[in-house]
Amino acid sequence: MRPSKRDELVRKALPIFYREGFHATGMDALVAETGISKTTMFKHFRTKDELILAVLRYRDETFRNWFFRKLDDKALPPKDRLAAIFDILEEWFEEPAFKGCMFIKASSEFQDPDHPAYAQSAEHKRLLQTAFRSICADAGAHDPELLARQLLILKEGAIVAAHMGFDPEPAAIAKATAEQLIANQIDV
């Protein structure tokens, strides 16, 4: 049971940072809400930034797992998997705890491109794009690279719209858009 406390900290710190923000969350607040002592926190992570980075890595892993697991569970033929991306997005938006994309927020708070939190955030999006591209290829898109980049931009825009609340049905709008792109790239 060696590293369990460390994992517990990362797991419990995630929703706090997600809900309150990174700068706005102090170490003392983490102690109060996680029940883990500050001494222990700084034994596992030398700085707050290192903890934040571990939280972001954990988020990247769990989010992508959750997302593509959901997609796989639908057991759709390749050509229908692309539009289904936006159905899963909608499920996410409707969660009560939804507060936008953690990586968009991380890159908003840590703007220095050399900051590891920024780098990790960009990496998360790149990994999504790679996954999208392979789905596009499986679906028989003429230009999988282009379609994946279009779908990712649509997804990010929908997240921003959902978080800021300026569009009541961002996932549906993005899905309708995606379907046009897909129809133009995939022969029926």
Nearer to DNA, 37 or 108 (CB): 37
User: Which residue from 107, 132, 139, 141 is in contact with a second copy, where contact means CB under 8 A?
Assistant: 107
Written in H, E and C, the secondary structure of 112-162 is CCCCHHHHHHHHHHHHHHHHHHHHHHHCCCCCHHHHHHHHHHHHHHHHHHH
Q: Is 125 in the site for a second copy (CB under 8 A)?
A: yes
Touching DNA, residues 35-74 (CB under 7 A): 35-40, 42-44, 46-49
Rounded Cα distance, 174 and 168, in Å: 12
Stretch that binds DNA, among 22-30, 87-95, 120-128, 153-161 (CB under 7 A): 22-30
Stretch that binds a second copy, among 29-37, 58-66, 88-96, 143-151 (CB under 8 A): 143-151
The minimum distance between CB 40 and DNA, in angstroms, equals 3
Q: Is 163 in the site for a second copy (CB under 8 A)?
A: yes
The minimum distance between CB 48 and a second copy, in angstroms, equals 13
Touching a second copy, residues 43-102 (CB under 8 A): 99-100
The minimum distance between CB 32 and DNA, in angstroms, equals 9
Contact 162, 98 (CB under 8 A): yes
Binding-site ranges for DNA (CB under 7 A): 1-2, 4-6, 23, 25-29, 35-40, 42-44, 46-49
Interface with a second copy by CB under 8 A: which residues?
A: 19-21, 23-24, 99-100, 103-105, 107-109, 111, 113, 118, 121-122, 125-126, 129, 146, 149-150, 152-161, 163-167, 170, 173-174, 176-177, 180-181, 184
